[in-house]
Amino acid sequence: MKTIEELKKSGSIIFECISGSKAYGLATPNSDTDIRGVFILPKEQFYSLSYVGQINNETNDQAYYELRKFIELCAKNNPNILEMLNIPDECILYKHPLFDEIKKEIFLSKLCKNTFVNYAFTQIKKARGLNKKITNPVDKKRKSVDDFCIINFGKKSIYLNQFLSENDLKKEFCGLAKITHIKDCYNLFYNKKLNYKGVSKESANEVCLSSIPKEEEPIGLLYFNLDGYSSYCKKYKEYWSWVDKRNNERYKNNISNNKNYDAKNMMHTFRLLHMAKEIGEENLINVKRNDRDFLLSIKNAEFEYEDLVEKAERIKNDLDAVYKGFRLQEVPNLEVVNKLLISIRTEFYDQ
């Protein structure tokens, strides 16, 4: 059982819900529908070597956790997992009676302060990280090895293509020979009759070397900026992978608002910080947000990035006082958690 289709046919799912923005009450017309769930592996597979802890679809907007992994993540106070213990009723698609035995009171602890805050500030970093791609696009036409080759001749250094153009030379008649003990440097030769291999091949990531007769004299020294080329290739791949996968409506929103951050990431920063405060004060996981208007105003990029970071820091510092009280256990009682896990699995298999 490795795919969601196989999982749904197996009868192993004990909980399934709509999560994400629709569960938070923050959905807009263009919001995706995220699905999360919990399943219990068939007994034979659980006891075999083929344990499966999680099953996702290709886009990761559907994810199902095996009971053991789900309980482990709850015990670590993972924010995305804990919220499944208090999903609004209208977002629950299916719930087996056994799932009701997994109560939030067993898991909520002072660990939440760090897990929620760390996740919140990760969102802040992501908000700026996206901006690098927004404001620094990479041309679709990919640069070649030739674009990172520099020619030194006489007292001048210019790029290969400029050198060839200015001297009315053709790439295919060029030949390179490596210069011993000097990294990424080559003697450049030119001869129309000697079948040189040129500077590089179209699909290659390195320059080409040719067999050079001893009597031939170089017309210049070529330096191939290999580190620069490698860095460019990585940036090119990352950028166009991001373009393929990005949410275009979200991208257009950030562009149209002309803000220096990804507004959706910043919205989730404050959702997480507010949830952390509510857990500390009320021992509750409020998934459906009563601060919806404020969060959507952040999503609409109505604030400056620096102001939001300053506000987030203040909330973070306030949480120290909130979590000093005795309302929450220090950490989940793993003995109680383990008994719960064994009890649910045993009962499920007995059924």
Looking at this protein, which amino acid is placed at residue 319?
L
Q: Tokens in use for 151?
A: 């020619």
Are the CB atoms for 287 and 88 separated by under 8 Å?
Answer: yes
CA angle, corner 108, sides to 343 and 16, nearest 5?
Answer: 60
**Residue located via tokens 């929620």:** 116
Q: Give the mean model confidence (pLDDT) for residues 127-138.
A: 64
What are the beta bridge partners of residue 221?
152, 187
Going from N- to C-terminal start, the domains of the chain cover 1-104+331-351, 110-139+247-328, 145-228
Pick the CATH number of 1-104+331-351 from 4.10.1110, 1.10.10, 3.30.420, 3.30.460: 3.30.460
Q: Tokens in use for 290?
A: 């009563």
Least confident of 27-36, 116-125, 132-141, 280-289: 132-141
Q: In this structure, what are the phi and psi dihedrals at residue 203, rounded to the nearest 5 degrees?
A: -100, 5
Residues 67-124: tens digit of each pLDDT: 999 999 999 999 999 999 999 999 999 999 999 999 999 999 999 999 999 999 999 8
pLDDT higher than threshold 70 for residue 166: yes
Burial of 307 (0-12, 13-18, 19+ CB in 10 A): exposed
DSSP output for 163-209: HHHHTT--GGGEEEEEPTTSTTEEEEEE-SSS----SB-TT-SSB--
Q: Using a pLDDT cut of 70, give the percent of the chain over it.
A: 93
Q: Tokens in use for 162?
A: 């400029």
Least confident of 32-46, 200-214, 229-243, 324-338: 229-243
d(CA 28, CA 34): 13
Q: What is the 3-state secondary structure (H, E, C) of 48-108?
A: CCCCCCEEECCCCCEEEEEHHHHHHHHHCCCHHHHHHHHCCHHHEEEECHHHHHCCHHHHC
Q: What is the pTM for the complete model shown?
A: 0.68
